[in-house]
Structure 1
Amino acid sequence: MPRPTTHARPTGHPGYSETLPRVPGSAGLARRLVRAALTAWGMHDLADDAVLVASELVANAVRYARRESIRVVVERITPGTVRVAVADFSRSLPEPCTPSDHDESGRGLVVVMALATNWGTDERRWGKVVWAELEERG
Structure 2
Amino acid sequence: MTTSGTPVQAAPIGRPGYSRTFPCNPETAVIGRKLVREALSAWHLDDLTEPAELIISELVANASRHTPCHSIRLIVQRPDMARVRIGVVDRAPSRLPVLNPADATDESGRGLLLIDALSDCWGYTLLGSHPARGPWGKETWAELKPAAL
- TM-score (normalised: structure 2): 0.84
Cα distance, 1:80 vs. partner?
Answer: 3.0
Which structure: greater strand fraction?
Answer: 1
User: Match for 2:59: what amino acid?
Assistant: L
Report Cα offsets for 1:8-47 as digits up to 9, x if no partner. Answer: 46x3797111111011100111011001100111101111
Alpha-carbon distance in 2 for matches of 1:14, 1:48: 22
Of the three residues 44, 68, 91, the one matched with 1:66 is 68
> Residue 108 of structure 1 aligns with which residue?
111
Is 1:17 equivalent to 2:19 in the alignment?
A: yes
14-23 or 27-36, larger mean C-alpha shift: 14-23
Q: RMSD across aligned C-alpha pairs, in angstroms?
A: 2.0
63-72 or 12-21, larger mean C-alpha shift: 12-21
Unaligned regions of 5+ residues in structure 2, if any?
128-134
Is the contact made by 2:83 and 2:143 (CA closer than 8 Å) also made in structure 1? yes
Alpha-carbon distance in 2 for matches of 1:128, 1:14: 16
Identity %: 44
Structure 2 residue matching 1:33: 3-state secondary structure: helix
1:41-60 correspondence runs (5 A)? 41-60=43-62
Unaligned regions of 5+ residues in structure 1, if any?
none
> Residue 137 of structure 1 aligns with which residue?
147
Alpha-carbon distance in 2 for matches of 1:99, 1:19: 31
Alpha-carbon distance in 1 for matches of 2:86, 2:121: 11
> Residue 85 of structure 1 aligns with which residue?
87
Alpha-carbon distance in 2 for matches of 1:70, 1:4: 19
Alpha-carbon distance in 2 for matches of 1:64, 1:100: 20
Q: How many residues align?
A: 137
Cα distance, 1:67 vs. partner?
Answer: 2.3
Larger Rg: 2
Is 1:97 equivalent to 2:107 in the alignment?
A: no
